[in-house]
Structures are given as C-alpha cells and as structure tokens.
C-alpha cells in the first residue's frame, strides 16, 4: 500500500522540480508581459540568498510555526506520493496551512494579521472542493488510497468533469495566482506588503518558499490523478493546467475576497451536486 520509496523520492526531488517550475513560471510570465525575465534557476538563487541572510524575526515563536508549516506540507506531499489516503492528505494540508496562519497571527502586525484572516478565508473557500474531489474519486474507484486510484483503468476526468473543473478553480487559490491571490501573491502584481508572509524574512521566508515548491508539486500530482489512467495524457494535462494557471494569473486582476469565496463555493456546490448526484445514480443502477 504505502510505498516509502516514492515518499523519499518526493522529498528529495520535489524542491528541485518545484523550483524549476517556479522558474519557468517567472520566465513565461515575463514573456507574457513582454519582458525577458530571469533565468529559470532564479528561484534557487533567491532562496539561497534568503538562507544566507541574517535571521531576523518579530518574535521567537515564528520559527516554530514556519518549521511546522514546512514539515506538514512536506508530509502531505509525501503521504500523497506514497499512495496514502486522499482524505488524510487533504486534512494534513489543512494542518500545514493552519500553522502558516498561526505564524502570521503570532507576529501581531496589522499586515500579516489581515493576511492571516484572508488566508483562512481561502482555506474556507477551497476546502470543500478538495474534500469533495476526494469523495468523487472514491465513489468512482471505491478507494481513497492514491495507490489504488492510480490503478483505476479509466480516465477519472471523464466521470468527474464537474469536480475537476471545481478543483481547477480552487487550484488558482492554492497556487496564489490572480484573481484569487488575496492573502499573498506569488508574483507581486499589485501589492507592496506581502500579506500573510509580511513578517517572515531571511531563512524563515526561505522555508516558506521551499514549502511552496513542495505544495506546487503535490497539487500538480493531485491534478494528475484525474488523468492517471494514461500517463502521457496525464503529463500533458498537468502541463496544460500549469500553463493555464499562468495565463489566468496574468490576465486577471485580483478580486475582492468576497467574490473569491462566494464564487468558489457556488461553483463547488454546483459541480459537486450535479457530479455526485449523477455518480450516485450510476452507482445505484
């Protein structure tokens, strides 16, 4: 069931792949904006530099939250790639996220405080679709275990088109892309102060950046699940989804949080009811 090997491979390779994807992200984004952009290795240089910086923090508890955020985000991805239980993966992801939020709260700074509240709003917005995606996948494959889901012979996206769309919608939030980069954005489009990460600097910020790479790889892995039956289709789909997210990021202005939460919920509700109801009928028949 659980394969420790894949977990270890994830832990070792995810930052490399995630960092490179971040670099590609910046390059593509730059081209979309008519700039040349940095080298695709730039994220590694940036993070390297962050770790060299003199550590400075607002208070002594911040490090604990950052490390916990890092550990549980890595744990989430490792559990996923090891073939673990999809629901547990979603819950572990929330746990990691809560640690980041608590770190932002602990700083007692107006900007990071607002960032923390908004991050929680985002969690509240995307959690239903994450759970329901897992539930939909279970209804089709009869298992929550990622290892079993991968063995399912049919493209899941054909049976779960609604949930996949809902997942894509929420993915924009998770990747911190416009129009839903309301707590902090990965690329600075319009803000001067970086929301939930305002009060993190130096190595702490470096950790958060690396954590983001891990999350990126995990989320693309989740996307791959919908196409797992055919790995070529799967990889192409993941690339398209990634480029699509970049496109959305660069063609949309940030919206207010109200719209972000409401629209995500509305779409989740719609696709979940329709998709799951159809599935339930199919299962009964």
Partner 1 sequence: MKNTHSSFRVDVSVQYLLFLILFPLLVALFMPVVRRDTERGWIVKLSALAIGIVTVLALVTLYDKGTVYLGGFDVAPVNLLLFGLEMAMAALLLWYAVKYRHYLALALVAVQTALIIWFEATCSSAADVAYPLFSDSFSLIMALIIGIIGSLICVYSLGYMRHFYEHHPEIPDRTGTFFLIIFVFISAMFGLVFSNSLVWVYFFWEVTTLCSFLLIGYTKTDEAIRNSFTALWMNVLGGVAFIIALIWLAAVPGGMLSLDQVLASGKALILIPAALIGFAGLTKAAQMPFSSWLVGAMVAPTPVSALLHSSTMVKAGVYILVRLAPVYAFTATGLALSMVGAITFLVASGIAISQTNAKRVLAYSTIANLGLVVACAGIGTYEAIWAAILLIIFHAIAKSLLFLSVGTVEHRIRSRDIEDMNGLITRTPKLAAMMVIGIAGMFLAPFGMLISKWAAIQAFINAPFGFVLVIILAFGSALTVFFWAKWMGKLLVVTPDKENIEGAVDKNEWIALVSLAGLTTVTCFIFPIISKILIEPFLLANYGNIARLSQDNILIMMMMLFLIVVLPLSILLPHRKHRQLPPYMGGVVTAPDMHFENALGAKTPLSLGNYYLGGWFGETKLRTAGIYVCGVFIAVMFVTALAGGIVL
Which residues form the interface with partner 1 (CB under 8 A)?
A: 1-2, 54-61, 63-64, 67-68, 71-72, 75, 79, 84-85, 87-88, 91-92, 94-95, 98, 101-102, 104-113, 116-117, 120-121, 123-125, 127-129, 131-132, 135, 138-139, 144, 193, 198-199, 265, 268-269, 272-273, 276-277, 279-280, 284
Tell me how far, at minimum, the Cβ of 16 lies from partner 1, in Å.
24
CB 193 within 8 A of CB 111: yes
Tell me how far, at minimum, the Cβ of 202 lies from partner 1, in Å.
9
Between 30 and 95, name the residue whose CB sits nearer to partner 1.
Answer: 95
CB 226 within 8 A of CB 32: no
Tell me how far, at minimum, the Cβ of 48 lies from partner 1, in Å.
16
Whole-angstrom Cα distance, residue 229 to residue 154? 5
Between 88 and 233, name the residue whose CB sits nearer to partner 1.
Answer: 88
Between 105 and 180, name the residue whose CB sits nearer to partner 1.
Answer: 105
Nearest to 231 by CA among 150, 149, 144, 163: 150
Tell me how far, at minimum, the Cβ of 142 lies from partner 1, in Å.
10
Take residue 101 and report the two structure tokens written for it: 């939020």
Tell me how far, at minimum, the Cβ of 151 lies from partner 1, in Å.
16
Q: How far is the first Cα of the chain from the last one, in angstroms, to the nearest whole number?
A: 30
Between 101 and 217, name the residue whose CB sits nearer to partner 1.
Answer: 101
Between 113 and 176, name the residue whose CB sits nearer to partner 1.
Answer: 113
Between 43 and 221, name the residue whose CB sits nearer to partner 1.
Answer: 221
Tell me how far, at minimum, the Cβ of 162 lies from partner 1, in Å.
12
Between 184 and 268, name the residue whose CB sits nearer to partner 1.
Answer: 268
Q: How many CB atoms are closer than 10 A to CB 12?
A: 9
Take residue 156 and report the two structure tokens written for it: 């899941």
Nearest to 98 by CA among 127, 134, 141: 127
Sign of CA dihedral 32, 33, 34, 39: negative
Which residue has 């894509």 as its token pair?
Answer: 168
Whole-angstrom Cα distance, residue 36 to residue 137? 41
Tell me how far, at minimum, the Cβ of 152 lies from partner 1, in Å.
16
Whole-angstrom Cα distance, residue 212 to residue 194? 15
């Amino acid at each position: 069931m659980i394969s420790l090997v894949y977990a270890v491979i994830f832990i070792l390779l995810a930052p490399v792949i995630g960092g490179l994807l971040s670099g590609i992200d910046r390059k593509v984004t730059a081209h979309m904006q008519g700039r040349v952009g940095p080298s695709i290795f730039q994220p590694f240089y940036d993070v390297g530099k962050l770790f060299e910086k003199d550590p400075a923090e607002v208070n002594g508890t911040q490090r604990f939250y950052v490390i916990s955020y890092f550990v549980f985000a890595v744990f989430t991805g490792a559990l996923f790639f090891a073939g673990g239980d999809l629901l547990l993966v979603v819950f572990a992801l929330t746990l990691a996220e809560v640690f980041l939020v608590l770190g932002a709260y602990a700083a007692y700074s107006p900007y990071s405080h607002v960032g923390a509240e908004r991050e929680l709003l985002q969690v509240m917005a995307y959690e239903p679709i994450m759970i329901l995606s897992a539930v939909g996948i279970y209804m089709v494959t009869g298992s929550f275990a990622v290892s079993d889901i991968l063995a399912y012979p049919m493209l899941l996206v054909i049976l779960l088109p609604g949930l996949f769309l809902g997942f894509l919608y929420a993915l924009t939030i998770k990747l911190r892309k416009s129009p839903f980069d309301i707590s902090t954005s990965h690329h600075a489009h319009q803000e001067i102060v970086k929301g939930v990460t305002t009060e993190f600097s130096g190595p702490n910020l470096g950790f958060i950046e690396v954590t983001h790479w891990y999350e990126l790889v995990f989320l693309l892995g989740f996307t791959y699940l919908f196409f797992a039956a055919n790995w070529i289709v799967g990889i192409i789909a993941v690339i398209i989804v990634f480029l699509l997210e970049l496109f959305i990021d660069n063609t949309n202005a940030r919206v207010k949080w109200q719209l972000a939460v409401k629209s995500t919920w509305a779409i989740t509700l719609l696709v979940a009811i329709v998709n799951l109801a159809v599935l339930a009928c199919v299962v009964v028949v």
